[in-house]
Structure 1
Amino acid sequence: MAKPIQTIQKIELTEEQKKIQSLENLLSGVADNHDSLLETLDLLQELHDSGIMEALGSLLKAKESAAKIAVGQFTRKPVTNMINNAMAAGGILTELDPETTSKLAKGLTTGLQKAEQELKADSKLGLFDLMKALKDPDINRALGFGFNLLKGIGEGLKE
């Protein structure tokens, strides 16, 4: 029978051997990613030619003062109001039915086109025209929608 292994010898690489192995790994990676590295170099050259690299370098060197300016700008009242309003609008949009919103947008577009035509015609609207318009199903539908919209807004403002 063979003798059992008593000691395990760990192979220690010298610094020179570690550097050679590291360079071989790097060359292997370059060879494997040749096309993407060339594209990256082209992109970096374009950024350098346009001056963006210099601007980014300056920004990184002045990162502390740039961060103070950015934080100062973001904490201004108009900016915080804008962020809060955007978040509120986003919340509203998540609650709306997309089909209804689409119908409303199409109706608004059609209404604006008709209003523009009437504006160009420069026709006057009389009291009897208003009475006759109330019998039009499209106008009646829009008025009903508008009144219910106003009622909902009023109820929301009461809370």
Structure 2
Amino acid sequence: MAKPIKVIQKTELTEEQKKMHSLEKLLSGVSQNTDSLLETLNLIQELHDSGMMEALGSLLKAKEKAAKIAVGQLTRQPVTNMINNAMAAGGILTELDPETTSKLAKSLTAGLKKAEQGLEVDSKLGLFDLMKALKDPDINRAVGFGLNLLKGMGEGLKE
């Protein structure tokens, strides 16, 4: 029967052995990723040749000043207005039915084409022409839509 182990001896690596182990791991990683490392080196060389590495280095050195300038630009009134307007527009778009929006956009495109054709004819419209046009179901539908749109906007503005 074997003797029980009473003492476990932990082998400590010397500094030189640790360095050799690290180098072996590094060489193994390099050999496994040769293509990507070469691409990275080419990219860095291109950045260097174009002067971008110098610009990035300068930017990093002046990071505090650059951050102050960026924050200063972002807090300007026109930029904050743009951000607030974009957020408001995003909020409006989330409330709209996508199917209705798509239908409206297609109708608007068709209307613009028709209006362009009407400009080419260049005829004058009189009061009786307007009255007659209201009997056209398509025009009547669009005018009704516009009036309802104006009604809803007016109600919204009252709030």
Do Structure 1 and Structure 2 share a fold, with TM-score over 0.5?
A: yes
Q: CA deviation at 1:41?
A: 2.1
Instruction: Measure the CA separation in 2 of the matches of 1:67 and 1:139.
Output: 56
Where does 1:35-50 land on structure 2 (aligned, <5 Å)?
Answer: 35-50=35-50
Q: 1:119 Cα shift? A: 1.6
In the TM superposition, what whole-angstrom CA distance separates every residue of 1:71-128 from its partner, at most 9, and x where no partner exists?
A: 1111111111111111111111112111111111111111111111212222111111
- Aligned amino acid, residue 7 of structure 2: T
| Unmatched runs of 5 consecutive residues or more in structure 2 | none
| 1:139 shift after superposition | 1.1
Q: What's the TM-score, normalizing by structure 1?
A: 0.92
Matches within 5 A, 1:69-88: 69-88=69-88
Letter in 2 for 1:124: K
- Alignment-mate amino acid for residue 15 of structure 2: E
Question: Identity over the aligned pairs, expressed in percent?
Answer: 85
Amino acid at match of 2:28: S
* Residues matched between the structures, number: 159
Question: Within 5 Å, which residues of 2 pair with 1:114-153?
Answer: 114-153=114-153
1:60 positional shift: 0.7
Q: Provide Cα deviations, 1:24-77, integer angstroms capped at 9, x if missing partner.
A: 111111121222222222222222222222211111110000001111111111
Could you list the runs of 5+ residues in structure 1 that have no partner in the other structure?
A: none
Instruction: Provide the alpha-carbon RMSD of the alignment.
Output: 1.4
Separation of aligned partners in 2, 1:41 and 1:138: 65
Match in the other structure for 1:6: 6
Match for residue 102 of structure 1?
A: 102
